[in-house]
Amino acid sequence: MRWLSFALLAMSALAQSSDWMDLFPDSRFSRWTRIPIPPTAPLGAVQQWKVNPEERIVLCEGNGGHEMLRFDRELENFIFHVEWRFTPREGETRYNSGIFVRNSADGSIWHQAQAGLSGGFLFADTLIGGVKQRVNFRPQMKENRVRPAGEWNTYEITCSGRRISLAVNGAVTSEFTACEVPRGYVGLEAEGHRIEFRNIRLKNLR
């Protein structure tokens, strides 16, 4: 009976893991598109995104301007899993990047999980009563669970109906419970700092 319970548990875990879609890009980023931030700005001439297929890491050098690397599939309800770490730089305290969900195709509407040493929280240029507005949930952040530069962090962003929640290293730190944007694109942010991403995965929620 104990063996049967273990076998059923293992089968359940396997079924759950198979629901995840691997978003790791190929060397040409054929499923991904660079989008300038803001969308009216010119796209940087430098290709600052690279892949390391052996270690399965996406590297952003941070030397090609402010932009979003957008996965080219519109999504509705899902969990977006990303692990990231900054490359330490002596004297640097203002590391900055982010993980996007439910963005418009051009990035004019966006919802971001902040990646920085000051903590993981949600903020956005989104629709409030149908009008585009900036919202920032940093004051409501439950705790700062972000690890120092050089260490890996795990973000899981869940979008379900009107709710977006951010879990940082295993615990929810920020929530937006009145999102009026029902679907959009996920992406990674380049904002002047060298950062690595790995285990980029997505699970659709029914």
Task: Return the DSSP state at 37.
Answer: S
The neighbouring-strand residues paired with 78 are: 159, 204
Q: Could you tell me which CATH number the domain at 22-204 has?
A: 2.60.120.560
Query: Structure tokens of 113?
Result: 């999980």
CA atoms within 13 A on the CB side of 48: 26
Domain ranges of the chain: 22-204
- pLDDT digits 0-9 by tens, 96-134: 999 999 999 999 999 999 999 999 999 999 999 999 999
What is the C-alpha separation between 57 and 49, in angstroms, rounded? 11
Q: What is the average per-residue pLDDT within 135-157?
A: 98
Q: What is the average per-residue pLDDT within 171-181?
A: 98
Whats the size of the chain, residue-wise? 206
- pLDDT digits 0-9 by tens, 51-97: 999 999 999 999 999 999 999 999 999 999 999 999 999 999 899 99
Does the predicted TM-score (pTM) go above 0.85?
yes
**CA distance to 54, 56, 70, 75, 97, per residue, from 26 (Å):** 12, 10, 14, 21, 22
